């Protein structure tokens, strides 16, 4: 089967949950903290989401400069479609790491998305993801729920796939007939037993499975004390080469999709939102200058949006390189001065109660990452 580039990067909203249906000893001894990753596929433009107060923006983006932004700090404003995120910011429960990226600069969606999930050094060389390896380190055990299983979550753990559907399961009689066709103890029999043991609430759901609808399901599961503690969302469409627009353009619509997910999680989690950390992940940013199609081309530096009660405070954390041409990556992209993997490793260390060095060594191959836990999160 040939998958076109556009099909690969547009995708659909999807959700993966990972938790522990049967608490293991370590999980039972720990205060439950939820870790949610929202993958923004296509190269999220950090300069659109969190816009710097820089006169160069109006010069190089005359047709797509976002109007109606809200002030975050003296130096940065937020896109107006990020309403829930801004509300979290006002409550001290949202922050941003800006001018950051994974260390990938070749601008291919395929390669970049492989590396953003695997955390590897060369595309397609790793078969597991940094979150899957981090979960192994945490020794929390678990159940993963997804269709399909993202590379980000793959590890040595035994994982189970799930995706809510409008279709019904066969009746019990038919299920027993199907089950009898497998040998006892076989892998297929184990899968059938696992499916039959699931609660109905996990098996069937109406709607069209847009990401914000899946967020309602995720919040229901994450807020349970014995429920999953990891969720991964997948939102596509950020590859805005044309009609990126400002407030109402294609990129604004994608940011609104993210914001709906955040809002559904915040509302559904209730008090458990205070024990939750939500982070975004994307393969690269966009060029600083707009193109002839009122869009932007693939770039390098971008921003990580973070929300939840586990963020330390409302802050823009950055070693801001500026937008002067001499300071741009290859004289065209926002430079990345913070390795995004340092943020993700610190986030896992915080949420899974594993010391940073151990997490770095096991999940990111001992790469020279910086422990940002005490600067970004409540530890």
pLDDT tens profile 219-260: 888 898 877 888 888 899 999 999 998 888 999 999 999 999
Q: Which H or E element spans position 83?
A: helix 83-90
Specify the pLDDT at position 35.
92
Do 268 and 47 form a contact (C-beta atoms < 8 A)? no
Specify the pLDDT at position 318.
98
13 SS3 class: coil
For 20-24, 101-105, 109-113, 278-282, which range has the lowest pLDDT when averaged over its residues?
Answer: 20-24
Q: Answer yes or no: is pLDDT of 200 > 80.
A: no
Specify the pLDDT at position 190.
73
Structure tokens at 156: 């040595």
The predicted-structure confidence for 304-327, as pLDDT tens digits, reads as follows 999 999 999 999 999 999 999 999
The predicted-structure confidence for 51-110, as pLDDT tens digits, reads as follows 999 999 999 999 999 999 999 999 999 999 999 999 999 999 999 999 999 999 999 999
Q: Answer yes or no: is pLDDT of 292 > 70.
A: yes
Cα gap 66→228, rounded to integer Å: 38
Specify the pLDDT at position 198.
64
Specify the pLDDT at position 22.
44
Structure tokens at 34: 């939820």
Distance of CA 49 to CAs 69, 208, 252, Å?
A: 9, 27, 8
Q: Answer yes or no: is pLDDT of 162 > 90.
A: no
Assign 166 a pLDDT band (cuts: 50, 70, 90): low
Region 267-290: mean pLDDT is: 98
Structure tokens at 186: 């076989």
Average pLDDT, the chain: 87
Share above pLDDT 90 across residues of the chain, in percent, rounded to a whole number: 63
Specify the pLDDT at position 111.
97
Which burial class, exposed, middle or buried, applies to 372 when counting CB atoms under 10 A from its CB (0-12, 13-18, 19+)?
A: buried
Specify the pLDDT at position 144.
45
Specify the pLDDT at position 203.
59
Cα gap 316→320, rounded to integer Å: 10
Assign 3 a pLDDT band (cuts: 50, 70, 90): very low
Share above pLDDT 70 across residues of the chain, in percent, rounded to a whole number: 83
Assign 303 a pLDDT band (cuts: 50, 70, 90): very high
Could you tell me which of 278, 297, 335 has the C-alpha nearest to residue 101?
Answer: 335
For 114-118, 223-227, 371-375, which range has the lowest pLDDT when averaged over its residues?
Answer: 223-227
Would you give the DSSP letter of residue 152? Answer: G
Strand residues in the chain grouped as ranges (E): 14-19, 34-40, 50-52, 70-71, 76-78, 94-101, 143-145, 228-235, 276-281, 302-307, 316-317, 338-339
Specify the pLDDT at position 1.
34
Assign 373 a pLDDT band (cuts: 50, 70, 90): very high
Neighbours of 67 (CB within 10 A): 8
Assign 147 a pLDDT band (cuts: 50, 70, 90): low
Q: Which residue has the higher pLDDT, 364 or 135?
A: 364
For 25-39, 41-55, 312-326, which range has the lowest pLDDT when averaged over its residues?
Answer: 25-39
């Amino acid at each position: 089967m040939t998958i076109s580039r556009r099909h690969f990067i547009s995708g659909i909203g999807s959700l993966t949950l990972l938790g522990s249906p049967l608490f293991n000893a370590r999980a039972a001894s720990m205060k439950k903290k939820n870790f949610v990753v929202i993958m923004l596929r296509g190269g999220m433009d950090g300069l659109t989401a969190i816009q710097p107060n820089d006169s160069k923006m109006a010069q190089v983006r005359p047709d797509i400069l976002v109007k109606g932004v809200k002030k975050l700090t003296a130096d940065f404003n937020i896109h107006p479609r990020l309403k829930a995120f801004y509300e979290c910011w006002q409550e001290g429960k949202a922050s941003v790491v800006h001018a950051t990226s994974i260390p990938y600069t070749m601008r291919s969606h395929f390669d970049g998305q492989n590396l953003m999930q695997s955390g590897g050094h060369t595309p397609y060389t790793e078969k597991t993801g940094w979150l899957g390896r981090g979960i192994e380190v945490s020794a929390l055990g678990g159940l993963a729920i997804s269709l399909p299983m993202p590379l980000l979550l793959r590890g040595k753990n035994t994982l189970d796939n799930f995706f809510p559907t409008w279709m019904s399961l066969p009746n019990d009689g038919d299920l027993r007939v199907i089950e009898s066709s497998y040998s006892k103890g076989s892998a297929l029999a184990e899968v059938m037993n696992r499916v039959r043991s699931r609660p109905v609430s996990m098996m069937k759901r109406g709607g069209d499975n847009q990401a914000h609808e899946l967020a309602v399901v995720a919040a229901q599961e994450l807020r349970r004390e014995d429920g999953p503690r990891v969720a991964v969302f997948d939102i596509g469409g950020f590859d805005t080469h044309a009609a990126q627009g400002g407030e109402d353009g294609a990129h604004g619509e994608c940011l609104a999709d993210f914001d709906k997910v955040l809002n559904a999680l915040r509302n559904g989690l209730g008090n458990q939102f205070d024990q939750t950390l939500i982070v975004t992940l994307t393969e690269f940013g966009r060029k600083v200058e707009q193109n002839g199609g009122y869009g932007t081309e693939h770039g390098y530096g971008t921003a990580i949006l973070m929300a939840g009660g586990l963020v330390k405070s409302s802050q823009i954390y950055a070693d801001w390189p500026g937008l002067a041409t001499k300071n741009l990556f290859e004289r065209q992209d926002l430079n990345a001065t913070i390795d995004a993997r340092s943020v993700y490793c610190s986030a896992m260390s915080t949420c899974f109660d594993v010391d940073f060095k151990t997490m770095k060594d096991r999940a990111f191959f001992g790469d020279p990452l910086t422990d940002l836990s005490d600067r970004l999160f409540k530890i």
